[in-house]
Structure 1
Amino acid sequence: MTDTAALRSRNAGFWARAAPGWARHADRHDEIGRPLGAVALDWLRPRPGERVLDVGCGCGGTTAEIARAVAPLGSAVGLDLAEGMVAAARDRWGRPDGAGPSFVTGDVETLDAVPGAPFDAVYSRMTLMLFADPVAGLSTIRRSMRAGARLAATVFRDGLVNPWPAAAMLGAAPHLGPLPPLPVGGEPGPFAFADAARTTRLLTAAGFADITIHPYDVTLDAPDDPEAVAEWLIEIGPAGAAYRDADPAARMRARAGAARLLERFRTAGAGYRLPAGLWLITAHRAGISGTVIPAGISAP
């Protein structure tokens, strides 16, 4: 298995190359991809006046949503590894008066604490499974939280209940150049947190308390536009950089190939229904006895 330093370097390079695709499709992903994190945001219930950290903020849509919830006296800080995504987030959500969310570029695995700490709550949509060293990243998150603060995150379960990312990649790959290596075992990737027992062990090792992991099934509804949906899923996936490097004819073939494998999720005239199987992860940083942690949605 690749060592942690090499995995971190690979992660940094991958997300630097991926950032232009995510920035290009930021509005689309905010709209269609919202169900991927909604259950965590519903559980977290950010309140006015709170300081909230968004780990893996991407192009900032989730951080902006949190900022609206905690306004006017609270604050939301988005952290992401990719400078290109943080730049896009600032362009999209920055305000001349300095109000609204703020964004920080950094590797959560190597920070002592996230700038802006301590936080009352931490949110993360589909990011924890991408850590090269999960215990290191989770430990930084815990250190960045005040005593009694709460964490809510979503990650994918396994590939069987999330079939569309592979369909988009496999449909596009034959028409593009070399793709990044697929993750092995617990290496960072979409299904690295599929094993709930392992995930619990990682959170425990990082010092979290009251850990719960519950399954949720959601659906992403996308418009009936095969070419646009195929391009979106290619560009935010592992084939994104190779797609952008390809010539126009190859990109057209890649879109067509992805669209063919995504056809089973499409109803002509109605659009796409992309099923997603998630884990909702909740926990808190141990604090003073009697600290009240706001209740969220009930576990299934």
Structure 2
Amino acid sequence: MTDTGTLRARNAAFWTQAAPGWIRHADRQDEIGRPLGAAAMDELRPRPGERILDVGCGCGGTTADIAAAVGPHGAAVGVDLAEPMVTAARERFPGERHPGLRFVTADIETIDAVPGAPFDAAFSRMALMLLADPVAGCATIRRSLRPGGRLAATVFRDGGANPWLPAATLGAAPHVGTLPPLPIGDEPGPFAFADPARVRRVLTAAGFEVIAVHPHDVTLDAPDEPETVAEWLIEMGPAGAAYRAAPPSGQAAARTAAARLLDRFREPGTGYRLPAGHWRISAMTAP
């Protein structure tokens, strides 16, 4: 099994390379991906005046939603490993237009607490399963919360509940350059938290209490634009950097192949309906 230090280095390199795709598609990801965090946002129930941490904020859309919920007297702090995405978040949601909204670049696994702590609550959309050392990362979240603070998060379940996720990568791979190593077993990746027992073990080891893990299913609706949807999913996944480095002919072939594999989720004239199965996670710190 790969050691944690190697996995952290691999994560840092991957997200630096992936950032341009996430930045390019930030608006699309905010719109289409909103259902992936909706259950956790409902669980979180942000209230005006609260201070809330957004873990794995990416390009800032979820943090901005939280800031709107807590209002001008509250605070929303987004933290992410990828500095280019944090920079993009600051540009998309400038502080003068969004009072109480702030973004921090940090490795949640290696800091003692997130700047701005303590927070009333923490939110995370599809990020906890990407940590090289999830116990260390979740322990930082716990230390960043006040006594009795709450955590609400979502993570993907298994591949069978999300059959569209690997399609773009599988379609693109033969037409672009070398891809980064794909995750094995519990290594960071979309299905690293497929086992709910592992989720509970990680949160318990990190010091959380009152842990609940429930299945939740949603459908992501994307427009009936095969090339656009294929490129979006390629660029958001492990083939993104290789795709961007490929010649135009390779990119075109990658889009066509990915679109072919995604066709079973397409309703011509209506759009794509992508079934997404995830865990809705909640936990609390000791009072």
TM (normalized to structure 1)?
0.95
- Counterpart Cα distance in 2 of 1:251 and 1:100: 41
Deviations 1:73-102 (A, max 9, x none): 000000000001001100100133672411
Matched, 1:172 2:172: yes
User: What residue identity is the alignment partner of 1:9?
Assistant: A
Instruction: Name 2:153's counterpart in structure 1.
Output: 153
Conservation of the 8 A alpha-carbon contact between 1:68 and 1:100: no
User: What residue identity is the alignment partner of 2:175?
Assistant: H
Deviations 1:191-250 (A, max 9, x none): 000000111011000000000000001000000000000000000000000001111111
User: What residue identity is the alignment partner of 1:48?
Assistant: P
- Counterpart Cα distance in 1 of 2:89 and 2:136: 25
User: Which consecutive unaligned segments of at least 5 residues does structure 1 have?
Assistant: 288-300
User: What residue identity is the alignment partner of 2:137?
Assistant: G
Aligned-residue RMSD, C-alpha: 0.8
Instruction: Name 1:253's counterpart in structure 2.
Output: 253
Runs of 4 or more, structure 1, over 6 Å off, are none
Give the C-alpha shift of residue 284 in structure 1.
Answer: 0.5
Alignment length (residue pairs): 287
Deviations 1:84-121 (A, max 9, x none): 10011001001336724110000000000000000000
Deviations 1:34-84 (A, max 9, x none): 000000001101000000000000000000000000012000000000001
Conservation of the 8 A alpha-carbon contact between 2:79 and 2:103: yes
SS in 2 for 1:9: helix
- Counterpart Cα distance in 2 of 1:185 and 1:111: 26
Deviations 1:118-154 (A, max 9, x none): 0000000000000100110000000000000100000
Instruction: Name 1:237's counterpart in structure 2.
Output: 237
Instruction: Name 2:70's counterpart in structure 1.
Output: 70
SS in 2 for 1:102: strand
Conservation of the 8 A alpha-carbon contact between 1:118 and 1:145: yes
TM (normalized to structure 2)?
0.99
User: What residue identity is the alignment partner of 1:135?
Assistant: V
Instruction: Name 2:188's counterpart in structure 1.
Output: 188
Instruction: Name 1:122's counterpart in structure 2.
Output: 122
User: Which consecutive unaligned segments of at least 5 residues does structure 2 have?
Assistant: none
Identity percentage over the alignment? 71
- Counterpart Cα distance in 1 of 2:4 and 2:100: 35
Q: Cα distance 1:253–1:97, how it changes in 2: closer, same or farther (>3 A)? A: closer
Give the C-alpha shift of residue 279 in structure 1.
Answer: 0.2
Instruction: Name 2:106's counterpart in structure 1.
Output: 106
